[in-house]
Amino acid sequence: MSRESEHEESILHRYFDGELESEETAEVRRLLSARADLRMDLERMGEIRSLLRESVEKSAAELDSDDLFARIEARIDRDGEEPKRDVRPRLVAIEGGKRTRRVAAVVLGAVAIAAAVLLFVIRPTESSGVLDDSIAVHSGDASESVATVETVFQTEVIEVDFGDNSGAIFAIEGEHGERHAVVWLADVQPTEGIVE
């Protein structure tokens, strides 16, 4: 490539990139008007830029940025993790006295848990008794009091089958924080017997 050709190519690229001063721009325009080969080169540059832009836009559209971000985060987290420790149990020889204390602590712990278990075994029995009482009260006993029942003041709708109707479930909060359930169903009248 001759020196003149190099200059032309360079100035053409700079023209294409919009980097020329006004005098140089005027020079290039003169060249372009006179030279078909330079016009063709300029046209090719435009085509290449268009292809590149389309390709970049397509890649950007296909890129799942959320997924990419998640992968990057996961990678960062993984890199930041401490090296895995040896999962094999460490076997430590303990002197006799220490071992005795350790076993005693384990036994005491077991006794404490057993006591807790006993406590919870006893509690349901008391509860059942109260329930039996409340049932007796509901059966007509004069002393109508179920104050000892530990009540959860929330009424809940567990299941509703609206069938062919449509409906909604509301919850109204009461003065004492209790919740009243409201099931509201549309009343669709049966169409039987309607003569058109």
Partner 1 sequence: MTWSSCIEIVNCARAHGVLLWSFGVFMGVMGGASPVWAQAQPGAAARGEVFVVLASEGEGSMDPSLADIPALRQPPFNTFRSMSVLSRSTAQISVERPMEVALPNGRHLRIELERVLVDGRYRVRISINTPGRADYLSLLEVLASPGDPFFVAGQNWQGGTLVIGVRIGQRPAAR
Number of residues that bind partner 1 (CB under 8 A): 69
If one asks whether residue 143 binds partner 1 (CB under 8 A), the answer comes out as no
Instruction: State how far the Cα of 183 lies from the Cα of 167, in Å rounded to an integer.
Output: 7
* Rounded to 5°, angle at Cα 127 from 126 and 129: 65
Residue 72 binds partner 1, judged by CB under 8 A: no
DSSP β-bridge partners for residue 168: 184
The answer to the question of residue 141 lying near partner 1 (CB under 8 A) is no
The answer to whether 129 contacts partner 1 (rule: CB under 8 A) is: no
Site map 155..174 versus partner 1, x via CB under 8 A: xxxxxxxxx-x-x--x-xxx
> How far apart are alpha carbons 31 and 11 in whole angstroms?
11
The reply to whether 108 sits near partner 1 by the rule CB under 8 A is no
Burial status of residue 92 (CB atoms within 10 A of its CB: 0-12, 13-18, 19 or more): exposed
- The residues near 41 (Cβ < 8 Å, ≥ 6 apart) are 9, 12
Task: Report the interface residues with partner 1, using CB under 8 A.
Answer: 91-94, 96, 99, 102-103, 106-107, 109-110, 113-114, 116-117, 120-121, 123-124, 127-128, 131-132, 134-135, 137-140, 144-147, 149-163, 165, 167, 170, 172-176, 178-187, 189-190
